Each structure stands twice: as C-alpha cells, then as structure tokens.
Structure 1
Amino acid sequence: MKALRYTPSLPRFLGARLLGKRFPKGLLPLRLEEVPLPERAGFQRVRVLLSGVCGSDLALLYGKSPPTISPFFSFPAVLGHEILGEVEGEKVAVNPLLACADRGLPPCPMCQRGEEGLCQNVAEGGLAPGMLGYNQDLPGGWGEWVLAREERLYPIPQGVPDERAVLAEPLAVVLRGLKRLWPWPEEVLILGMGTIGLMAVRLLRALGYSGRVHAVAKYPHQAERARAFGAERVYGSAREALLERARRYRYLLFEGYRGGYPWVVEASGSGKGFREALALAEEGGKVLLLGAPGLEWADLSPFWFKEVALVGSYTYTREEFGEAVALLKELQGLEGLVGGVFPLEAWPKALSARGKALFRP
C-alpha cells in the first residue's frame, strides 16, 4: 500500500530543530513509499478515509519532541494517529492506543483503572513501542490501511461530515483535559486559537459551560472563529490579556503581577505559551496543558509563590473517546477548522496548510 513513512535521521533532526519550519520540506525524513500491510491475529483491516496532521506530528518532523519520550515510540513508522476509517461500509473513528490488551499482556495498574492512555506497558509485549502513528509494527493513518482491534473502532453518528468525524481523537484529548479541571470556575482564558484552542472553546459551550470564555488569538481569522464558537472576549496577545486583569509591579528592571485568571488553558504547544500561561494564572489558579511543549525553560516561581496548579492531558480513556465521538453530532462548525484535504503525494503542501490539514489516501 502507499504510505508516508518517517525514518529518523540525526542530521535532519538537528537541521529541522535549528531552522524550524524554514527547514526545506524536501529534506524532512518523510517519504511516500510502498509498504507492506502486516497481518496480526485479533486485529482487523480498516480502510483509511481521512487522517489528520497533528501538532505532535509536526513537532516530531521539526525536531521539537522531547528526547525523554523517544523510548516510548518506534521508527521507522507510518505516521498519523487521527484516523477516520471504514469497515464493511461503516465509518469509524479509530482509537490509536496500543495498551496492555492490544499487546497481549495482563493489565498494568493504570489499565486496571481504565486509564489506558497512561498504560505502563507501552514499550512491552508483542508489539513495538508506541501507539498507531508512532509504531514500526503497525501503520498509522498516513497510508491506505490501518489495523485495529474491534473495541478500538467507534461508529460515527449519522449525519456527521467526514471532516468533523476525523477530529474525534484530538477532541477526546480536549474533553479529558476540560473534565480534569472540574469544578469549573466562572471564567476561563484559552491561550492559542489553533485547532486545539478553538476546539476547547467550542466544546466548553457544547458541554453547557455558561461562564465567561476569554481567548488569545494571534491572527484575525482565529479571533473571528473564537467569537463564533463562544468566546466573549478575544485578545491579540497574552500581554494584553494579562494587563486587562492583573496589577503590575516593578522593582529595578523586573516586573511582577498579581491577579489574572482562575483557569488558563495553554493550547499553543509552545514554550512561550507555557511561560505566558503561568503568568496569566491568578493566585491559586490552574493551568491546563493541552499543547505539548518539549524542552523549554520557565520561571517555576508561580508554582510556589502563587500556588498555581498544573494539569496535563495527553490521551484518554475508552469511555472518553466514545463520549467525544458521540458529541460530534452536536459540534456543528467544527469541520470549519480544516484548512485543506490533500492526497499523500501532496504532503509538503499539507505541512504548510493554514488550519487543520488532512490526508485522503
């Protein structure tokens, strides 16, 4: 089958890390190849209809992934973990996790609790490390077919367009994060109006959140979408949002602030965004990391001086994934986040797309 396969290259990794998105796309370690589709007992073939380009995929390609998580993935691999597929004419969202049950192992303590996203055996058992999209034994969604166990397949509700259905996986990550911050305060600030940040705005309103939603958007089109999804106040920068709510103090060359927002969602996935989120949180507030910054420096004093709490969301439980799929029917307009649908051959254009890029094999 045709597939986009990532093969690590240390020189290209270092070059991409140094130059970021200025690095020539033709030199990225990604190639369209003919790859065999393996057979595996207990797994069934799923024809890929659409597969998303995630921020974590871009982080891997551009050398931004933290080295400490590299033992829990395996390469070379066909990328793509946001997958809309088809089995016997039925459209399904594919849960890409490969936890104890998928690996032929007895459940670890996390899997016993239903927390498969925190499985302690992701590098053990009869499969290579990593979930679909980061696994050298099983191909991800940037190809024509994937393999998955039946319980990893979730039927798409009737009437949901494909461009919305393929967003089930990142939606499940956002859903888990928002639930982890319960009880919800009367106000929330969401930093970064890319796909994940806009999903957070839209999902909060769909879940019945009636408080004030503030957003920080870098571009006018993001600000417009944030308002359409339910944000009441949109700022052009984190500093603007901070000065709106916090009191500024100065000593010599240094600045400090008191006040801010009770709840800050960091959705940009950048080190700068993480540092800004810590500054934006009020005393005793919470910061939710929905983005995935890697190795970054940060002033840690907000954790003790302001007693800010930090929460992360990486994957989901089976129930949370199923809840996200069920919510798709209510989330009209979410498909507007898609910036383009590309054939596999046009992968350089897909990586440059504004908005969420999808592959259609």
Structure 2
Amino acid sequence: MKALLYTPSLPRFFAARVLGKRFPKGLLPLSLTQLPLPERQGFVRVRVRLSGVCGSDLALLYGKSPPSISPFFSFPAVLGHEILGEVEGSLVAVNPLLTCADRGLPPCPKCQEGEEGLCQNVAEGSLAPGMLGYNRDLPGGWGEWILARPERLYPIPAHVPEERAVLAEPLAVVVRGLKKLKPWPKEVLILGMGTLGLLALKALRALGFSGKVYAVAKYPHQAERALAFGADGVYGSAKEALLERAKRYRHLLFEGYRGGYEAALEASGSGAGFRQALTLAQEGGRVLLLGAPGLDWADLSPFWFKEVGLVGSYTYSPEEFAQAVGLLPELKGLEGLIGGTFPLEAWPQALSAKGKALFSPQGSNRPNVL
C-alpha cells in the first residue's frame, strides 16, 4: 500500500526546530513509500477515506515536540491519527488509542476506571510505544489502510458529510477538555481560532453552554467564522481582550494586571498563547490547555499570585469519543474548516494549506478549497 512514512533524523529535527516553517518541505523526514498491507490477529483492516493533518503532526515534523514525551512514541511510523475509515461499505471514525487491551495486557488502574486516554502502559506489551500515527508496528491514517480493534470503530451517523466526520477525533479532545470546565463559568475566552478553537466554540454551544463566549482571532476570516459559530465578541489580539476587562498597573519597567476572564481556553498550541492565557485568566480563574505547546518559558506567578487553575486535554475516554461522534449531526458548518483535500503525493502542498488539510489516501477526486 502507499503511505507517508516519517523516519526520524536528528540533524533535520534540530534544523527544523531552528527554522520552523522556513525549513524546506522537501527536506522534511517524510517520504511516500510502498508498505505491505498490515495484518494483526484481533484487528480489523480499515480502508482510509480521509485523514487529517493535526498540529501535533506539524510539531513533530518541525521539531517542536517536547523531548520528554518521545519515549512514548515509536518510529519510523506512518503518521495520521485523525482518521475516517470504511469497513464493508460503512463509514467509521477511528479511535487511535492503543491501550492495555490493544497491547494484550490486563487493564492498568486508569483503564480500569475507563480513562484509557491516561493509560499507564502506552510503552508496554506486544506493541511498540504510541498510538496510531505514532507507532512503528501499526500504520496511521496517512496511508491507504490501517488496523484497529472493532471496539475502536464508531459508525458515523447518517447524512454527516465526510469532511465533518473526519473531525471526530479532535472534537473528542475538545469535548473532554470542556467537561473539565464544569461547573460552567459564566464566560469563556478562547485564544486561537484555528481548528481546535473553532471546534471548542461550536461544541460549547452544542453542549448547552449558555454563557458568554469571546474569541481572539488573528485573521479576519477567523473572526468572521467565530461570529458565525456563536461567539459573543471577537478581539484581534490577546492584548485587546485583556485591556477590555483588566486594570493595568505599572512599577518602574514592569506592568501587571488585575481582572480578566473566568476561563481562558488556549487553542493555538503556542507558548505565547499559554502565557497570554495565564495573564487573561482573572483571579481564581481557570485555564484550559487544548493546544500542545512543547518546551517554552512562562511566568508561573499567576498560579500562586492569582490562584489560577490549569487543566489540559490530550485524548479521551471511549465514552467521550462516542459523545463526539454523536454530536456530529448537530455541528453543521464544521466541514467549512477544511482548507483542502490532497492525495498522498501532494503532501508538501497539504502541509502548506490554509485551514485544516486532509489526505485522501485512496486518491478519490475531491476539490481543494484554498
């Protein structure tokens, strides 16, 4: 089968880390190759219809992943963990986690609690470390076929467009994170109106949040979409949002703020966004980290000086994944987040796409909307 294989290279990792998006795409450690069809007892072969390019995939390719998590993934690997598949003519969303049950192990304490996203055995058992997309034994969605155990496959509700259905996995991350904000605050500020931020905005309303939702959007088209998705107000920058709600104090060369928002949701995945979220949260407020910043610096004083609370969301439980799939029929318009659908051969163009990029590994003819 055709697949995009990521093979680690320390020189390219460090060069990409320094140059970021300026690093030549042709030198990224990614190659289109032919691999044997995957087989494994107890797993079902799934034909990949669509697979998304996630911010964590880009972080890996551009050397931004934190080294501390590297022991829990294995390479070379076919990337792609946001997967819409097809089994016997039916569309399914694929839960990409590989936990105790997948690894032939008795359940760890977290799996016993139903918290598979916190499985303590992700580097143990009969499989290499990692989940689909970050595992050398099982290919991810940037190839024509994957393997998954039957209970990892969730039927897509009728009449849900494929370009919306492929967002089930990041939506599940968002659903889990939003649950951690309960009891609901009266207001939420979302930093970053990329895919995760807009998913969070849409999901908040679908989950019954009736308070105020404000957004920080970098670009005009993101601001327009945020308003269309139900934002009560949009700011062009974190500073603008801060000055709207907080009082500024100065001493010598330094400035500080009092006031802000009850909950600040960071969805940009940047260190700058994390620092801004800590500043934007009011005294006793909460910060939800949906993005995935790696190594960076931050002023930690808000945790004790303002008693700001911090929670994060990385994966999900089976129930949360099922809930995300069940929400898909209500979330009309999510398919508008897609910035283009590409064959595997066009991976350099996919990594440069504006908006959410998808791979169509089987090569079906889909228009690119750039």
Q: Indicate the TM-score class for this superposition, using the shorter chain for normalisation.
A: over 0.9
Structure 1 residue 35, shift from structure 2 partner: 1.0
- The residue number in structure 2 matching 1:219 is 219
Determine helix, strand or coil for the equivalent of 1:164: helix
Determine helix, strand or coil for the equivalent of 1:114: coil
User: Does the 8 Å CA contact 2:94/2:152 hold for their aligned counterparts?
Assistant: yes
Between the aligned partners of 1:18 and 1:171, the Cα distance in structure 2 is: 31
TM-score (norm 1): 1.00
Map Cα deviations across residues 272-311 of structure 1 (whole Å, 9 max, x no partner): 0000000000000000000000001000000000000000
User: Does the 8 Å CA contact 2:247/2:259 hold for their aligned counterparts?
Assistant: yes
User: Does the 8 Å CA contact 1:217/1:237 hold for their aligned counterparts?
Assistant: yes
- The residue number in structure 2 matching 1:341 is 341
- The residue number in structure 1 matching 2:367 is none
User: Does the 8 Å CA contact 1:37/1:139 hold for their aligned counterparts?
Assistant: no
Structure 1 residue 38, shift from structure 2 partner: 2.6
Percent identity over paired residues: 82
- The residue number in structure 1 matching 2:183 is 183
Between the aligned partners of 1:273 and 1:290, the Cα distance in structure 2 is: 11
User: Does the 8 Å CA contact 2:38/2:45 hold for their aligned counterparts?
Assistant: no
User: Does the 8 Å CA contact 2:242/2:280 hold for their aligned counterparts?
Assistant: yes
For 1:202, give the aligned amino acid.
K
Question: What does residue range 108-123 of structure 1 map to in structure 2 within 5 Å?
Answer: 108-123=108-123
Question: What does residue range 68-87 of structure 1 map to in structure 2 within 5 Å?
Answer: 68-87=68-87
- The residue number in structure 1 matching 2:350 is 350
Q: Which structure 1 residue ranges, 4+ long, deviate > 3 Å from structure 2?
A: none
Between the aligned partners of 2:124 and 2:14, the Cα distance in structure 1 is: 29
> How much is the aligned-residue C-alpha RMSD, in angstroms?
0.4
User: Does the 8 Å CA contact 1:248/1:255 hold for their aligned counterparts?
Assistant: yes
For 2:138, give the aligned amino acid.
L
Map Cα deviations across residues 152-210 of structure 1 (whole Å, 9 max, x no partner): 00000000000000000000000000001101111110000000000010111111211
Determine helix, strand or coil for the equivalent of 2:174: helix
Question: What does residue range 225-304 of structure 1 map to in structure 2 within 5 Å?
Answer: 225-304=225-304
Determine helix, strand or coil for the equivalent of 1:97: coil
Name stretches of at least 5 consecutive residues in structure 1 with no aligned partner. none
User: Does the 8 Å CA contact 1:138/1:147 hold for their aligned counterparts?
Assistant: yes
For 2:244, give the aligned amino acid.
E
Map Cα deviations across residues 128-169 of structure 1 (whole Å, 9 max, x no partner): 000000000000000000000000000000000000000000
- The residue number in structure 2 matching 1:4 is 4
Between the aligned partners of 1:209 and 1:109, the Cα distance in structure 2 is: 32
- The residue number in structure 1 matching 2:126 is 126
Determine helix, strand or coil for the equivalent of 2:243: helix
Structure 1 residue 262, shift from structure 2 partner: 0.4
2:14 corresponds to 1:14: yes
Between the aligned partners of 2:49 and 2:83, the Cα distance in structure 1 is: 8
Between the aligned partners of 1:249 and 1:133, the Cα distance in structure 2 is: 47
TM-score (norm 2): 0.97
Structure 1 residue 37, shift from structure 2 partner: 2.3
Question: What does residue range 76-155 of structure 1 map to in structure 2 within 5 Å?
Answer: 76-155=76-155
Map Cα deviations across residues 239-281 of structure 1 (whole Å, 9 max, x no partner): 0000000000000000000000000000000000000000000
For 2:76, give the aligned amino acid.
P
User: Does the 8 Å CA contact 2:51/2:166 hold for their aligned counterparts?
Assistant: yes
User: Does the 8 Å CA contact 2:38/2:145 hold for their aligned counterparts?
Assistant: no
Determine helix, strand or coil for the equivalent of 1:188: strand
Name stretches of at least 5 consecutive residues in structure 2 with no aligned partner. 362-370
Map Cα deviations across residues 19-76 of structure 1 (whole Å, 9 max, x no partner): 0000000000000000112311100100000000000000000000000000000000
